[in-house]
Amino acid sequence: MTTPEHPGARETLIRVRGLRTQFGSHVVHDGLDLDVYRGEILGVVGGSGTGKSVLLRAITGLDTPAAGRIEAFGTEVLGASPEERERLDQRWGVMFQDGALFSSLTVRENVEVPLRRIPDLTPELRRALADLKVSLVGLPYRAGEAYPSELSGGMRKRAGLARALALDPEIVFLDEPTAGLDPIGASAFDSLINTLSEALGLTVFLVTHDLDTLYATCDRIAVLAEKRVLVTGTLPQMLEVDHPWVQEYFTGPRARLARGAGRSDTKPEAE
């Protein structure tokens, strides 16, 4: 199925071509193509087992695909040298589900982990930068001294985002950032994504199943189905896609609620 969109002259930060990922005999992706453009919030959706998180991990080099090419910032990810991988890792940040924080470290110490890779950064400056990131994601100052087990689910997610932002990345990968949050907490996190994207010029790769988050934050959607990216486009364009899963997902009862109220109002419609 071809994409209904016309990306024009937008800068492509990440280009995936012919991706094949599999675990043993189980093939997750086969012939998957995807572009991620600078400055956009891209929502990646799909049914259970379509490999949304697997795609995120493949792009960021955490999983090795069986075949295909992944280019990020002009560098071939799969064949990158250790020095090239180090440079790539400094240009993106990853927030996993529930934050994936080190339980034995405080929030501040968790955020400091990526900062330790910067040579000649003094402990005092590293601490100050970590405190800045904690504040940036809307956590109170005292949260920096807390351990992950002492935080609510929403606060842990914000702490995970602070760590992902530690090195001032150009793109952040968010894996189900609102999963498990109550509607108020999820709405607040949606607003935070929008604010940071606009204020910092961030590109956001957002894996989610949350229709409210799609309507509240995303400029463009990529639908995973049939072991590939079936279609990409804006939310209005998704409504015109003639595919059973896409129609059910974007026009069903939950989608109508998401379009009609609450969190769908926090993201202005793209021109």
pLDDT confidence band for 10 (50 / 70 / 90): confident
CA angle 108, 112, 117 (to 5 degrees): 180
User: Residue 85: in which H helix or E strand, if any?
Assistant: helix 82-91
pLDDT confidence bin for 255, thresholds 50/70/90:
low
* Per-residue pLDDT tens over the stretch 89-135: 999 999 987 668 999 999 999 999 999 989 889 999 999 999 999 99
Torsion of CA 260, 266, 267, 269, to 10 degrees: 50
228 Cβ contact partners less than 8 Å away, ≥ 6 residues apart: 29, 30, 31, 32, 33
Indicate the fold that domain 39-65+82-261 takes in CATH: Rossmann fold (3.40.50)
Per-residue model confidence as pLDDT tens digits over 166-218: 999 999 999 999 999 999 999 999 999 999 999 999 999 999 989 999 999 99
Dihedral sign of CA atoms 147, 152, 155, 157 in order: positive
Q: Strands 12-23 and 171-175, how do they pair?
A: unpaired
Average model confidence (pLDDT) across the chain: 90
Please provide residue 224's backbone torsions phi and psi, each rounded to the nearest 5 degrees.
-95, 125
Please give the biggest Cα pair distance in the chain: 57
What local confidence, expressed as pLDDT, does residue 263 receive?
47
Mean pLDDT of 63-88: 94
Question: Tokens 């279609």 identify what position?
Answer: 231
Q: What is the CA radius of gyration of the chain?
A: 18
Structural domain boundaries of the chain? 39-65+82-261
Cα(126)–Cα(76) distance, integer angstroms: 31
Q: What does the pLDDT read at residue 101?
A: 92
Q: Which of 173, 142, 165 is nearest to 70 (CA)?
A: 173
For residue 215, what pLDDT is reported? 93
Q: What is the pLDDT at residue 264?
A: 44
Report d(CA 163, CA 183) in Å as an integer: 24
Rounded to two decimals, what is the model's pTM? 0.90
